[in-house]
Structure 1
Amino acid sequence: MDHIQFALSTSQQPRTMFDDIRLIHQALPGLGVEDILLKPETGDLCLKSPVFINAMTGGGGIETERLNGLLARVAKETGMGMAVGSQMSALKNPIERNTYKIVRKENSEGILFANLGSEATVQQAKDAVEMIEANALQIHLNVVQELTMPEGDRDFKGAIDRIRRIAGDLEVPVIVKETGFGISRETAVQLAAADITAIDVSGFGGTNFAAIENERRSRKLGYFQEWGIPTAAAIVETKSVFDKTLLASGGIHSALDVLKAFILGADAVGLAGSFLKIAMEKGEKELISEIHSLYEDLTMMMTALGARNLSDLAFCPAIISGELFHYLTVRGLNPASYANRVKN
């Protein structure tokens, strides 16, 4: 609950670099809104919606059980997949299990992601999946959060080997995600060799867990406040070396952000903080309404771009400028290549 309250009170800076992307309007799109298809291509993850509810909550007693139940009902109503927060607390303390099990109770047929950190064993991963009858497992990487957390871990050796073992032994797909500090090209290369199903880049620009953990410290680690790879840059970095399912999250708030993530190469998009804020402040019905509005806005913009489906967005030209242009240029990722691309 501390994390939830700090996530709501800690201001989120729009530092994703999505503002450095300008779309190229198509005055003859050749289609109408009724032609637009919003089902993503995510392979074994089987997502039905372009957007999913990303990992946030669980393990905080009755309050987080109620919140997870609300989010699960929203996911059911809107056709979204949903990830729970880290289940390690429930593996260590069985009394917390209901705060996670509620999601399958409320959404019996939905796509649900279990969640554990990279310190988990194969058996813990299997137990987490069984706990919520999950369709996939998220393994989160949170080095900066742990280093900033007063009681956090300080040793991260062996993480890639544990991820590889889990991916090899689990019967469900394995997703590796960051927690708001982004996946670099170098990290994506290592993950690609670990035989995982998907990467969620979870870039800088959304909920800042360094800022949250600094609120819990007597001596703040200010150098981690601005640490990380902005989400737009992390998508391009990861896409350049990873040819499986790419999920984008981190400071994504609007249909325009979602659209730009797809244009950069994402296969589906996760939202967490913005959904949490609406759920806590306005309630379940308002969150469902906001999600349907997001679908409508995404459909309208795809029509204006002449993109019949989400895969077509990867061929829509866009101009990249400003800080994102500079970042991609010095990393050797050729931002100009987005300006004149066409579908074959």
Structure 2
Amino acid sequence: MSKPNNRKNEHVSLSEKFYDHGVSSFSDVHFVHHSFPQMDVTDVNLSVHLAGLDFSVPFFINAMTGGSPWTGRVNEKLAIIARETGLAMATGSVSAAVKDPSLKDTFEIVREVNPNGLVFANLGAGHGLENAKRVVDLLKADAMQIHVNAPQEVVMPEGDREFSNWIENIQSIVNGLDVPVIVKEVGFGMSKETITLLESLGVKFIDISGKGGTNFAQIENYRRKDYKLDDLESWGQTTVVSLLEAFETETTANIIASGGIRRPLEIVKALALGASLTGLSSWFMHMALDDVDKTIETVSSWKMELSRIMTLLGARTVDELKQTDLVITGDSAEWSYARNIDIKRYASRS
């Protein structure tokens, strides 16, 4: 059985190994081009304000790593990128530091490097309120991510096999923490039923995190020595499908889109589908491991590209993207038909 320290290293290494394996569902989403934007690029405002949290741009560095000396250094690189670009950043699961306090510096480095930035702590849904309070205090966190990852756990050789307390834990954390709580999938997407359940618990931030990016079933299956669970590598819903599911519920929660988002146009498409914010994990990991300075430069160019795409769409703000016209095709359209999701309403919103 792999030690947690080694497992954290394996997760990062295998995420890199499979980096190019994801298939973006955003190729199913098409903007209707209208020839007259009736605005200027300088009119665009990229900022987002959600429940007391202020984001300068509608994307952030989503949860990835920590829990070993090497991944601590990766967190340091990511924190430098966050500080220099003004992006919010979520750490990976702090459970390793809960179990072994000697590893807490691999997470604390994020706040040390970026003392004034938005930082999100992260724990699995198997943890209760007291552990959530501990990690929020550890990072002086502005929000708490609770990740749900049942498919990963059942494939992981040393993973959890008990999930009956997850809803109770989430409820206690939502009720007991003084910072916003984000409930996040880890690349398997969400259904409208899941989102309705989370809203009933009082969850105000939901990260639907669909298929298309890092595939933790694939990673854990690769780590298995025998009894491979190949069929579970295709488990779950894509990011696009999960967004379509989310807005069938007339949700009042802030929906965060993540899972395979790697380009500015995909950020804009996710926002146009209704997301309030987008998170990127594997792209930032891939870039940070290669060159921190280049990553900072690329983020700057992305901000410019976002403004130009939004201008073409006549959208001065992120909220106005929800009034743009979208045509949904391919597998996403077929899924919507089977689930009685009306995708025609997206095509004539302007």
Say yes or no: TM over 0.5: yes
Matched to 1:167, the amino acid is V
User: What's the offset of the Cα at 1:44?
Assistant: 3.0
Root-mean-square deviation (CA, aligned residues, Å) is 1.1
Partner Cα distance (2:232, 2:265) in 1: 28
Aligned to 1:85, what secondary structure does the other structure show?
Answer: coil
Give the TM-score normalised by structure 1: 0.97
Aligned to 1:215, what secondary structure does the other structure show?
Answer: helix
2:230 alignment counterpart:
222
1:167 alignment counterpart:
174
1:285 alignment counterpart:
293
Question: What CA deviation, in whole Å up to 9, does each residue of 1:79-111 have, x standing for no partner?
Answer: 111000000110110110000001111111111
Aligned to 2:14, what secondary structure does the other structure show?
Answer: helix
2:6 alignment counterpart:
none
1:296 alignment counterpart:
304
Give the TM-score normalised by structure 2: 0.95
Question: What CA deviation, in whole Å up to 9, does each residue of 1:98-155 have, x standing for no partner?
Answer: 0000111111111110000001111000001001000000000010110000000111
Contact 1:203-1:230 within 8 A present in 2 as well? yes
Contact 1:15-1:230 within 8 A present in 2 as well? no
Aligned to 1:306, what secondary structure does the other structure show?
Answer: coil
Matched to 2:167, the amino acid is I
Does residue 260 in structure 1 map to residue 269 in structure 2?
yes
Aligned to 2:335, what secondary structure does the other structure show?
Answer: helix
Partner Cα distance (1:46, 1:194) in 2: 24
2:320 alignment counterpart:
312
1:328 alignment counterpart:
336
Contact 1:12-1:207 within 8 A present in 2 as well? no
Counterpart mapping for 1:175-194 below 5 A: 175-194=182-201
1:158 alignment counterpart:
165
Counterpart mapping for 1:1-344 below 5 A: 1-61=9-69, 63-219=70-226, 220-241=228-249, 242-281=251-290, 283-342=291-350
User: What's the offset of the Cα at 1:264?
Assistant: 0.4
Partner Cα distance (1:79, 1:32) in 2: 24
Identical pairs, percent: 39
Question: What CA deviation, in whole Å up to 9, does each residue of 1:135-178 have, x standing for no partner?
Answer: 00000001011000000011100211110111000000000000
Matched to 1:251, the amino acid is G
- Which runs of 5 or more structure 1 residues have no equivalent in the other structure? none
Contact 1:16-1:203 within 8 A present in 2 as well? no
- Which runs of 5 or more structure 2 residues have no equivalent in the other structure? 1-8
Aligned to 2:157, what secondary structure does the other structure show?
Answer: coil
Matched to 1:289, the amino acid is E
Contact 1:316-1:341 within 8 A present in 2 as well? yes
Q: Which moved more, 1:114-123 or 1:287-296?
A: 287-296
User: What's the offset of the Cα at 1:14?
Assistant: 4.2
Matched to 2:310, the amino acid is M
Aligned residue pairs, count: 340
Partner Cα distance (2:207, 2:144) in 1: 12
Matched to 1:225, the amino acid is E
Aligned to 2:52, what secondary structure does the other structure show?
Answer: helix
Partner Cα distance (1:33, 1:83) in 2: 30
Partner Cα distance (2:204, 2:120) in 1: 13
User: What's the offset of the Cα at 1:41?
Assistant: 3.5
Partner Cα distance (1:153, 1:112) in 2: 27
Partner Cα distance (1:41, 1:313) in 2: 15
